[in-house]
Amino acid sequence: MSTVSFDIVIPTIGRPSLRTLLCALGQGPGPWPGRVVVVDDRPDAATPLSFGDVPHDVAGRLAVVRSGGRGPAAARNAGWRAATAEWIAFLDDDVVPPPGWRRDLAKDLEGCRPGVGGSQGVICVPMPSDRRPTDWERNVHGLERAQWATADLAYRRAALERTGGFDERFRRAYREDADLGVRVTAAGYDITTGTRHCLHPVRPADRWMSVRAQRGNADDPLMRALHGRDWRTSAGVPRGRRRRHLMISAAGVASVLALLRGRTRTGAALATLWAAGTAEFAWARIAPGPRTADEVTTMLLTSVAIPFAATWHWCSGWLRVARSAREARPRGARNGTRRPRAVLFDRDGTLVIDVPYNGDPGRVQLVNGVREAIDRLRAAGIPTAVVSNQSGVARGLLTLRDVEAVNRRVEELLGPMGRWWICPHAPGDRCGCRKPAPGLVLRAAQALGVDAVDCAVIGDTGADVDAARAAGARGVLVPNPVTRAEEIEAAEEVAPDLVTAVDLLLNGDRS
């Protein structure tokens, strides 16, 4: 008898492989999930999903929810929020669990200590035994080495609730699972690898599939904006060939421009550089493959297109990040004429008297006026959350359990404050969540279901208002005796106390 409860969530766009998966779930021993939540993510779900004949024990647990074609992140969020169990096991609709997978999943989850937030299954991608694999087959085979791939990954509900789930700005199946994994581990949870495994057959692909797959490069700038320059290390993502793609693309474009301007020698030299880079890329893909005429033709054609496609999507991702920040700033200024939809508070020095690296709930003292300020927001129906740097965790001066004990004491004195978003990193860790980086503000806004531009952040340091500014939110500085003069000078809005700060937000007064 399993001691843990789990539900299964399967996002789908209606592929025929869904029925294969559902039938496979009914095979072999093991405890049954409470629910099998199938998330219909077809943009136009005018007709119901067709499951065909599936095992009775699976059919009786099926629940279908719709997510409107907003991508796998939004679909998985819709699924786990419709589930009720302690653990949510995510499966892609094209995997095939072997008989006994439910039994192995239950064993993996039962073996997870309280600090484990996720349990990764082993993905097995069958390769052909009678020939070398094609480039596309090798690409899919990379799933076996992918960290935190949600093709088979179970998350503890508490970890999903604490982090807000998947970031729905990731609209494609590419970096959304890596982003969540970074946030779950940053929240203090471990993600372990279990003993269960799933088969992931290679779907048929047309000649240009590898070119279309380059759209995923547009997600990397958002990862950098959210998690800092070392996000690849945090997410376990290899660097790949981006620098070479940039070089090849730049050489190709520059050669054409030079030739158009009559600089024949320069254009020829750049064209040679482009050709050499393209040839090296093509051979790197051809050499390990079957080298059939069709495969070689595909590699030659797509090796010309991929560097330009990858560079285009990567640049478009940066433009999207920059556009969002640019549009957020003026909107944030205009938000002064209306109430924010959510208010985020710093903790130490703002809600409570700052005791450096405090892990003792008995030393918690509220700042004057904080009860009245919070009561006014509650009366106005405006949700709150807390965003707090806690570098004492990284420094070894306190634990996440100590931080949570202090947070509980704050809520004993103030009542529920909503979700708590903590950065446990040290200043030199280059994370994307430590204020003045915008990560905590963006995550809190996402969890509250509002745009960051519709949030306000109240804090006592320049890092608090800078984090608000970077996220496009409105920042209000409430200085205390240790707030530096230059921080007060740089802040766009300053209030003498928390009650006045809340009045500024509720009354829309920016004077």
- The catalytic site residues sit at 346, 348
Rg (CA), the chain: 26
Coil, strand, or helix at residue 472?
coil
The bridge status of strand 342-345 relative to strand 116-124 is unpaired
Which residue bears the tokens 């419709």?
82
User: Roughly what angle, to the nearest 10 degrees, separates helices 264-286 and 242-260?
Assistant: 150
Tokens of 120: 């990764």
Q: Is-contact 154 6, C-beta < 8 A?
A: yes
- CA 7 – CA 181 distance, rounded (Å): 19
> Which residue, chain included where needed, has tokens 């409860």?
5
C-alpha separations of 13 from 68, 148, 298, 308 in Å: 10, 22, 27, 29
CB 494 within 8 A of CB 485: no
What whole-number distance in Å separates Cα of residue 137 and Cα of residue 135? 5
Q: What is the dihedral of CA 500, 504, 506, 508, to 10 degrees?
A: 160
Q: Which of 195, 173, 172, 192 has its CA nearest to residue 184?
A: 192
Collapsed DSSP state (helix, strand, coil) of residue 138: helix
> How far is 361 from 212, CA to CA, in rounded Å?
54
Q: Are 116 and 191 in contact (CB under 8 A)?
A: yes
HSE of 71, CA atoms in CB hemisphere, 13 A: 14
Number of helices followed by number of strands (H, E) in the chain: 19, 12
| CB-neighbour burial class of residue 489 (10 A; exposed 0-12, middle 13-18, buried 19+) | exposed
| Backbone torsions φ then ψ of 321, nearest 5 degrees | -65, -45
Query: Are 216 and 210 contacting, i.e. CB atoms less than 8 angstroms apart?
Result: no
Write out the two tokens for 56.
């009775």
Q: Please tell me the distance from the alpha carbon of residue 234 to that of residue 238, in angstroms, as a whole number.
A: 11
